[in-house]
């Protein structure tokens, strides 16, 4: 099965700085990679996703890069704000059939005002 | 679109009793739903895959007799925690895969067994 590893587990940055979270996956058949933001006791919220046919995707201050050869993908948040503080999860899934998401272990991001 | 409604959001029950958690897809049909469990400060762990009209597929280590899953219609999946014990206290959350391969999550249920 798929194994998704995520680093770092905690990350503190000053407001305005950038934050980078990295994930690796093991199953080369995985081709859908979403990132979720989860606040305490709430449902995960999709913030950005990328499919294996592209290498990079950007949405305002958030970007994701994918290296299929190395089987790793990263989340980049620029100009961080205190409201970006949350736990972020990466995930991987296969496109065919009804496949569940395999989640990384999460990164607790703290943006210091 | 693609909203999953999960109830209850919080439940406290006594040891030995059973608790039912419901997940409904409000504006789409979900032939498959996934049930996750999340311990404090931990990641979401898949418990089972719920398939409409057939038996659920459980992950290794998940007791199917303890965590009963029913997916009787295209819009409703239920998870029943039977004979609950304090170690079953956790955050349970469902998700459904939508037609564009995106996943939408329920709001979660915090179960506390006392």
Best of A10, A32, A44 to disrupt the B interface (most B CBs within 10 Å) is A44
The C-alpha atoms of residue B77 and residue B21 are separated, in whole angstroms, by: 9
The C-alpha atoms of residue B109 and residue B81 are separated, in whole angstroms, by: 12
Residue-level pLDDT at B41: 82
Nearest CA in chain B to A5: B43
Give the model's confidence band at B101: pLDDT under 50 very low, under 70 low, under 90 confident, else very high.
low
Q: Which token pair is A111? A: 């943006």
DSSP one-letter string for A41-53: TS--EEEEEEETT
Tell me: pLDDT of A64 over 80. yes
Of B42, B49, B102, the CB nearest to A100: B49
A111 touches A81 (CB < 8 A): yes
Of A43, A99, A105, the CB nearest to B108: A43
From the number of C-beta atoms within 10 Å of its C-beta (0-12, 13-18, 19+), residue B12 rates as exposed
pLDDT digits (tens, 9 = 90+) for A68-106: 999 999 999 999 999 999 999 999 988 655 578 899 999
Using the Cβ of B98 and the Cβ atoms of chain A, whether some distance falls under 8 Å is answered with: no
A38 touches A107 (CB < 8 A): no
B16 touches B82 (CB < 8 A): no
Nearest CA in chain A to B10: A41
pLDDT digits (tens, 9 = 90+) for B36-86: 999 888 899 999 999 888 889 999 999 999 999 999 899 999 999 999 999
The C-alpha atoms of residue B89 and residue B85 are separated, in whole angstroms, by: 7
The C-alpha atoms of residue B110 and residue A108 are separated, in whole angstroms, by: 20
Nearest CA in chain B to A1: B59
Neighbours of B72 (CB within 10 A): 10
pLDDT digits (tens, 9 = 90+) for B11-37: 999 999 999 999 999 988 888 899 999
Interface of B with A in 68-87 (CB under 8 A): none
- Interchain pair B110, A41: CB under 8 A: yes
The C-alpha atoms of residue A51 and residue A34 are separated, in whole angstroms, by: 8
A-to-B residue pairs, Cβ atoms closer than 8 angstroms:
49
DSSP category for residue B68: E
Best of A100, A104, A105, A108 to disrupt the B interface (most B CBs within 10 Å) is A100
B44 touches A43 (CB < 8 A): no
Using the Cβ of B114 and the Cβ atoms of chain A, whether some distance falls under 8 Å is answered with: no
Q: In chain A, which residues have their Cβ closer than 8 Å to the Cβ of B101?
A: 32, 93, 95
Q: In chain A, which residues have their Cβ closer than 8 Å to the Cβ of B49?
A: 98, 100
Pairing of strands A45-51, A32-38: antiparallel
């Amino acid at each position: 099965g798929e194994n998704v590893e995520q680093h770092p587990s905690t990350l503190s940055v000053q407001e305005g700085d950038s934050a980078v979270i990295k994930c690796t996956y093991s199953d080369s058949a995985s081709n859908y990679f979403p990132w979720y933001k989860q606040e305490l006791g709430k449902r995960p919220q999709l913030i950005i996703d990328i499919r294996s046919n592209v290498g990079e995707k950007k949405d305002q201050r958030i970007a994701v890069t994918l290296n299929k050869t190395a089987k790793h993908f990263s989340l980049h948040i620029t100009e961080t704000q205190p409201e970006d503080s949350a736990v972020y999860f990466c995930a991987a899934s296969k496109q065919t059939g009804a496949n569940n998401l395999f989640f990384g272990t999460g990164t607790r991001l703290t943006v210091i005002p | 679109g693609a909203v999953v409604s999960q109830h209850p959001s919080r439940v406290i029950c006594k040891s030995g009793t059973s608790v039912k958690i419901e997940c409904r897809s409000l504006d789409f049909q979900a032939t498959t739903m996934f049930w996750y469990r999340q311990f404090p400060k931990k990641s979401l762990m898949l418990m089972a895959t719920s398939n409409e009209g057939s038996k659920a597929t459980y992950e290794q280590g998940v007791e199917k007799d303890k965590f009963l899953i029913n997916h009787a219609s295209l819009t409703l999946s239920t998870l029943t925690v039977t004979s609950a014990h304090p170690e079953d206290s956790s955050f349970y959350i469902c998700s459904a895969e939508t037609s564009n391969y995106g996943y939408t999550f329920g709001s979660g249920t915090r179960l506390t067994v006392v």
